[in-house]
Amino acid sequence: MSLALQLGIIVGYLLLALSIGLVAYRLTDRTAEDFYLASRTLGTVVLLFTTFATLLSAFTFFAGPNIAYHQGPEWILVMGLMDGIIFAILWYVIGYKQWLLGQQYGFVTLGEMLGDRFASRRLRGLVAGVSLLWLFPYVMLQQVGAGTALQALTEGAVPYAVGAGLITAFMILYVVVAGMRGIAWTDTLQGAFMLVTTWAATMWVLAIVGGPGVATGALEAEAAGHLALGGEFYTPQWMLSTAIVIGFGVAMFPQVNQRFFAAGSKTVLKRSFALWPVLCVLLFVPAFMLGAWARGLDVAVPEGGNVLPAVLAEFTPVWFAALVIAGAMAAMMSSSDSMLLSGSSYFTRDLYRPFVDRSLSDRREDFLARVGVVLFATASFGASLVNPATLFELGDAAFSGFAQLALPVVVALYWRRTTRAGITAGIVVSQAFYLASIFVAAVPGAYAGWTAGIVGMAIGLVVTVGVSLVTAPAPDERRALYFDGLGAD
């Protein structure tokens, strides 16, 4: 009976989200701009919550609480505070200028924006290729998270592969049908749902155990080191490296970066990034503290399992635990559907159109985008069945990989002297270095405590600036594109 109730709640939530997507489908034009950007019409609430829900994922609900459980609640400082502020600043620095350029020149992807400025089809393809490369493990992360969550919630009655397959099938159906408009609408619902269920879960657990003072006292008795700043795991170099690569990586995630183009007005954009840090604190603090408190509350966490489902199973009734897991599933879906949508736009507009068929019609592009979603999601599902790494390892690799793009893009947006050779070399060298740090044993993963991700970012910055200084701009580069006639404040 409890299994039927759990699955009924989760499937019911999925069907509710699908019904919203079907309504959006009826209002969506069969054009690429409407499919990818909802015709640049999003208001403050929808833009804020769709970006919020898009960013939150299995990494937030499972990897984050797991780290807080094993290493202590300082993880809140990394993702809850530093990344909330870092990304809000980047939204202003990168996002506002991207929005201005999108309004003026109709750009839909980051690759288009850079390719037009530097008159380079290869640069456009390079940015798309790098983005799709790092998107793959992050989509896998959502499928792994869904599979393990449903397996844990149902105590194995729903096997890992079935849970991962369920989320994959739903993602494909939803993205193919709904497009950006439907995704933004359901993201708003899912973002609000995540906030409410996370706070309700925290209040419920604290009411059962006697309040935050009792929970914190139990944590101190079990693992006193968890309540002190610093330590072998939370070194200043590691915390700063992690916060910076996550913040910069998020700004380059296709599904987040593309939302920089989708705001309905300048006011919408500015309100959204000003409210961003508040939303981060409201969600990350209760989610990560639940993970940390669980350490002192004698919650049995299976080897390789996740803390959040174990806490809920220990202190809340079956129906409520299923409701919160549905919220976590919402986080995974809202990230995954946006990733697939953005990934398909990078494939069709930056790879297929410029390299295969330059006369591609909007109607044909719309069809290819939907086919691309099916192929990409199916391939990542197949890889997720192998389950090659932990949620944190998958997420960290993707964040750091995307972060390598950020500084060359910032330099290009704000420095007229940037050349095609400079930005191309900056992207290629930093990506090559970071990939080598993962796959080549001779290349270290850390340097005096600083991660290879942040070292690679520094290398990319130096190479972009250095090569630009020693090379001349190509004759067909449009150097004034990012600076003249934009009307920025």
| pLDDT of 49 over the 70 cut | yes
Q: Say yes or no to pLDDT of 207 above 90.
A: yes
Which residues, including other chains, have CB under 8 Å from residue 390's CB and lie 6 or more apart?
63
Confidence of residue 407 (pLDDT cuts 50, 70, 90): very high
Mean pLDDT lowest among 27-36, 341-350, 376-385: 27-36
What whole-number distance in Å separates Cα of residue 420 and Cα of residue 123? 8
DSSP 73-91: TTHIIIIIIIHHHHHHHHI
Is 444's pLDDT higher than 60? yes
State the first-to-last Cα distance of the chain, in angstroms, to the nearest integer: 60
- State whether the Cα torsion 107-109-115-117 is positive or negative: positive
Instruction: Give the separation between CA 337 and CA 192, rounded to whole angstroms.
Output: 17
Considering only residues 122 and 335, tell me which one the structure prediction assigns the higher pLDDT: 122
Position 25 scores a pLDDT of 67
User: Would you state the torsion angle of the CA atoms of residues 395, 272, 129, 373, taken in this order, to the nearest 10 degrees?
Assistant: 80
81, with CB counted inside 10 A (0-12, 13-18, 19+), is middle
Give the model's confidence band at 389: pLDDT under 50 very low, under 70 low, under 90 confident, else very high.
low
Whether 319 contacts 81, CB under 8 Å:
no
- Per-residue buried b or exposed e for 22-55, using 16+ beta carbons within 10 Å of the residue's own CB: eebeeebeeebbbbbbbbbbbbbebbbbbbbbbb
Virtual torsion, Cα 136, 33, 170, 306, nearest 10 deg: 50
Helix (H) or strand (E) holding 447: strand 446-447
Per-residue pLDDT reduced to its tens digit, 131-170:
998 888 878 877 887 788 778 777 778 888 888 888 888 8
Dihedral pair phi/psi, residue 446, rounded to 5°: -150, 150
pLDDT band at 401 (very low <50, low <70, confident <90, very high): very high
Burial readout 187-201 (b: 16 or more C-beta within 10 A, e: otherwise): bbbbbebbbebbebb
Q: What is the pTM of this model?
A: 0.84
Q: What percent of the chain has pLDDT over 90?
A: 28
| Least-confidence region, from 12-16, 437-441, 467-471 | 12-16
Q: What is the signed CA dihedral for 20, 322, 384, 109, rounded to 10 degrees? A: 30
Give tens-digit pLDDT for 289-330: 999 999 988 888 777 777 888 888 889 888 888 777 777 776
pLDDT at 388 over 60: no
Length of the chain measured in residues:
489
- Nearest residue to 78 (alpha-carbon basis) of 219, 227, 247, 308: 247
* H or E element at residue 450: strand 450-451
Q: What is the pLDDT of residue 281?
A: 86
pLDDT at res. 167:
80
Looking at the DSSP assignment, which residues form a beta bridge with residue 42?
263
Judged against a pLDDT cut of 90, whether residue 339 lies above it is answered with no
Q: What would the mean pLDDT of 375-390 be, rounded to a whole number? A: 78
Please give the average per-residue pLDDT across 48-70, as a whole number. 79
Q: What is the average pLDDT score of the chain?
A: 84
State the Cα–Cα distance between residues 189 and 101, nearest whole angstrom.
30
Q: Give the pLDDT of residue 57.
A: 66
The predicted-structure confidence for 231-241, as pLDDT tens digits, reads as follows 777 888 988 99
pLDDT at 1 over 60: no
Using 50, 70 and 90 to split pLDDT, how confident is the model at 212?
very high
Cα–Cα distances in Å, from 281 out to 52, 117, 277, 288, 329? 12, 37, 6, 11, 20
**Residue pLDDT, tens place only, 66-105:** 888 988 888 888 877 777 889 899 999 999 999 999 989 9
- pLDDT at residue 12 above 60? yes
Higher pLDDT residue, 434 or 27?
A: 434
Average pLDDT over residues 232-260: 88
**CA angle 348-351-353, nearest 5°?**
60
Helical H segments across 317-451, by residue range: 318-347, 353-355, 362-384, 391-414, 420-439
Q: What is the pLDDT of residues 20-40, one digit of tens each?
A: 777 766 666 666 677 777 778
Contacts of 203 (CB under 8 A, 6+ apart): none
